[in-house]
Structure 1
Amino acid sequence: MNIRITGTGSYIPEVITKNADFDNHEFLNPDGTGFPQDNKTIIEKFKAITGIEERRYLEENLNTSDMAILAAERALENSGIDPETLDYIIVAHNYGDIKHQSFQSDTVPSIATRVKHKLRIKNPKSVGYDILFGCPGWIEGLIQAQAFIKAGMAKKCLVIGAEALSRIVDKHDRDSMIFSDGAGAVVLEETEEDGGILSHESGTFAFNEAHYIHFAKSNKTEAPDDLRYIKMNGRKIYEFALIHVPSAMKTCLENSGKSITDLKKIFIHQANEKMDEAIVKRFYKLHKMEMPKNIMPMSIKELGNSSVATIPTLYDLVLHNKIDEQKLEKGDVVMFASVGAGMNVNAMVYQH
């Protein structure tokens, strides 16, 4: 029995926000003090580090669940399966539905339930639930779906990653420029075809690292004290990622039975271009190799960091030949890898 992705779909929001759109923002330190540099310098340094030139924000009339539904519809159409035959609908997100100009998260009913409702699936045995696992949530959803199929509890699963980070950013925080919105989905099935999921690795580091990404008040001291926004300790995350992600990737590859030279692509969470490149270089260094050219498709330059949505949207874009100089052939071995709030890390080796 092999477990393969038989359909992919994504939703990339239409609202484009360029770096220049932040020129008039009032960026502040966490203690409310200003920066000695002007915004132009801040933005130039930001681009040099992250590689981000623009990002996508969802339309005012949409929510996370709407993007998840649109990505799901495309994945189901691409797979050709009847939605009524889905055994599980698993949606990875972190903040639920937050309406435009609202600060209240809405997760009842679950995002997965909303997706099933909008897809008009009548089958009560098609079970929907949400997973909160930080940015690695979509990969973790694949891991869980695979477990259901291996256990004989399912044959077809829909796994979605969707997030609207633009609704929870502090406009006075420089890190707000990193975040974006989007959704990606795949259909996972038991098939007779060769390949599919070969191995996975997953872990949660919470002894000292639990609050590297958290919720806190605005950097603007005059802002209402009861409002909270996404915050992160960038330096701690960078140091953590460079140690633990390459290690997880190495273990995952070893468990797959494949060689480092078999890998054709690495789909890594689009968190920060410099950090992603450093992780992949360190991974190859563990194998006493240089990082190969074009091994790491990137979408962060145009799409920013959409958390759980970055890998499934990137994978879908590559499959549909929408990323320059990046394509996959039948039988290619690839790796998915991610790091995020928790702090959580995971990886998966997959044969296309």
Structure 2
Amino acid sequence: MTIRAQVAGIGHYLPERVVPNSEFEKTLDTTDEWIRSRSGIERRHFASEDETTSILASRAANAALADAGLTAADIDGVVVATSTPDLTFPSAATMVQARIGMEGGFAFDIQAVCAGFVYALANANALIVSGTAKRILVIGAETFSRILDWNDRSTCVLFGDGAGALVLEAAEAEGTPQDRGILAVDLNSDGRFRDLLYVDGGVSTNSIGHLRMEGREVFRHAVEKLAATARTSLGRAGLTEADVDWVVPHQANSRIITGTAKKLGLPLERVVMTVQDHGNTSAASIPLALSVAKAEEKFQPGQLLVTEAIGGGLAWGSVVLRW
């Protein structure tokens, strides 16, 4: 027998404030058409002043627990993927732990920017497969609106706030590619490309920074690297692109999503796309997309999903899981 980490429940939370593209026309030299044509984004959500990342994450966590029919007492660990924690420390995960009423277990953050949720899934999967934990809440949550330069029309129109969470649960399986749960992961990074996507400030530099991005270069790396990592993780699972039922990519840009699907030879009808409604929510984008797709009843038991993401670092990776 093999232990697999299976999805037991999923949920998400979006702030109430919806910001359409037209709102940027009041302060920037941009238009709704310009934003849509370059990114596919139509609207995004921004957190209110009193909504922090841990608050968004806690609300998504409670939704995932409810979907799984579990309580905080059933959870052994919390892993939060975020680049925008409430404080330098303690971790946002420990704040979530307190907010949901979880008094035992462990909690920690992972920071891999937009690839954060893939990294978090990989780590939670390893903890479950090793027997360290039976159930882990894996959360992606961001308040990117706090680090945007509102004078930079090339970046501030792209990002949004939100959170998504899922419960991973240990289950016995046969150890074949037909098992439910996480079948394979692939993680990568290359620090030589740090300057393509970064925040120009932080604690160690004693400065408050804003997000900076070389969009054209990020696009070029994204399509190649996302297709490659998806193939690698599928190969590790003993599967190919032909076995894939759904791709649930990082929701950064509709052109990146379309380009990656084309490289993998998959039709857009099998790709979950929510970027038009949420913008780029960084580490929150994949669990948000998973939760929305589940609510729309897109996934059927036994279907094969591939999630893949790339972010600052550069860091990228993918996870293959059977629903």
Same fold judged by TM-score > 0.5? yes
Equivalent position to 1:63, from 28, 52, 59: 52
Which amino acid in structure 2 is aligned with residue 214 of structure 1?
Y
Which residue of structure 1 aligns with residue 305 of structure 2? 334
**Partners of 2:123 and 2:200 in 1: how far apart?**
31
* TM superposition shift of 1:275: 1.3
* TM superposition shift of 1:44: 2.2
1:165 aligns with 2:144: yes
1:11 aligns with 2:13: yes
Kindly tell me: are residues 135 and 39 of structure 1, through their superposed partners in 2, closer, same or farther at Cα, counting changes over 3 Å? closer
Which residue of structure 2 aligns with residue 350 of structure 1? 321
**Partners of 1:269 and 1:167 in 2: how far apart?**
20
Between stretches 149-158 and 74-83, larger displacement belongs to: 74-83
**Partners of 2:317 and 2:54 in 1: how far apart?**
24
Which residue of structure 1 aligns with residue 187 of structure 2? 202
- For 2:66, what is the secondary structure of its paired residue? helix
Mapping of residues 138-177 of structure 1, within 5 Å: 138-174=117-153, 175-177=155-157
Which amino acid in structure 2 is aligned with residue 298 of structure 1?
M
Q: Structure 1, residues 11-52: CA drift from partner, whole Å, max 9, x if none?
A: 0111011111011214xxxxxxxxxxx533xx4222101011
* TM superposition shift of 1:59: 2.1
8 Å Cα contact 2:35-2:42 kept in structure 1: no
1:39 aligns with 2:30: yes
> Which one has the largest radius of gyration?
1
* TM superposition shift of 1:226: 5.3
1:259 aligns with 2:240: yes
Kindly tell me: are residues 128 and 330 of structure 1, through their superposed partners in 2, closer, same or farther at Cα, counting changes over 3 Å? same
* TM superposition shift of 1:85: 3.0
* TM superposition shift of 1:122: 1.9
**Partners of 1:49 and 1:82 in 2: how far apart?**
42
Which residue of structure 2 aligns with residue 306 of structure 1? 281
- For 1:157, what is the secondary structure of its paired residue? strand
* TM superposition shift of 1:250: 0.8
Q: Which runs of 4+ in 1 moved over 4 A?
A: none
- For 2:269, what is the secondary structure of its paired residue? coil
**Partners of 1:316 and 1:350 in 2: how far apart?**
15
Q: Structure 1, residues 111-167: CA drift from partner, whole Å, max 9, x if none?
A: 0110011112222xx100111111111111111011111111111111100000111
Aligned residues: 311
1:211 aligns with 2:192: no
Which amino acid in structure 2 is aligned with residue 199 of structure 1?
A
Kindly tell me: are residues 78 and 44 of structure 1, through their superposed partners in 2, closer, same or farther at Cα, counting changes over 3 Å? same
8 Å Cα contact 2:144-2:161 kept in structure 1: yes
**Partners of 2:12 and 2:276 in 1: how far apart?**
17
**Partners of 1:298 and 1:39 in 2: how far apart?**
24
Q: Structure 1, residues 232-290: CA drift from partner, whole Å, max 9, x if none?
A: 11011011112211111111111111232221110000000011111121122xxxxxx
Which residue of structure 2 aligns with residue 100 of structure 1? none
Which residue of structure 2 aligns with residue 35 of structure 1? none
Which residue of structure 2 aligns with residue 185 of structure 1? 165
- For 2:83, what is the secondary structure of its paired residue? coil
TM-score by length of 1: 0.85
**Partners of 1:293 and 1:337 in 2: how far apart?**
15
Which residue of structure 2 aligns with residue 33 of structure 1? none
**Partners of 2:71 and 2:37 in 1: how far apart?**
46
Gaps of 5+ in 2: 174-178
Which residue of structure 2 aligns with residue 88 of structure 1? 77
Gaps of 5+ in 1: 27-37, 98-105, 218-224, 285-290
- For 2:140, what is the secondary structure of its paired residue? strand
**Partners of 2:260 and 2:64 in 1: how far apart?**
30
Which amino acid in structure 1 is aligned with residue 94 of structure 2?
T
Which residue of structure 1 aligns with residue 176 of structure 2? none
**Partners of 2:275 and 2:250 in 1: how far apart?**
9
1:250 aligns with 2:241: no
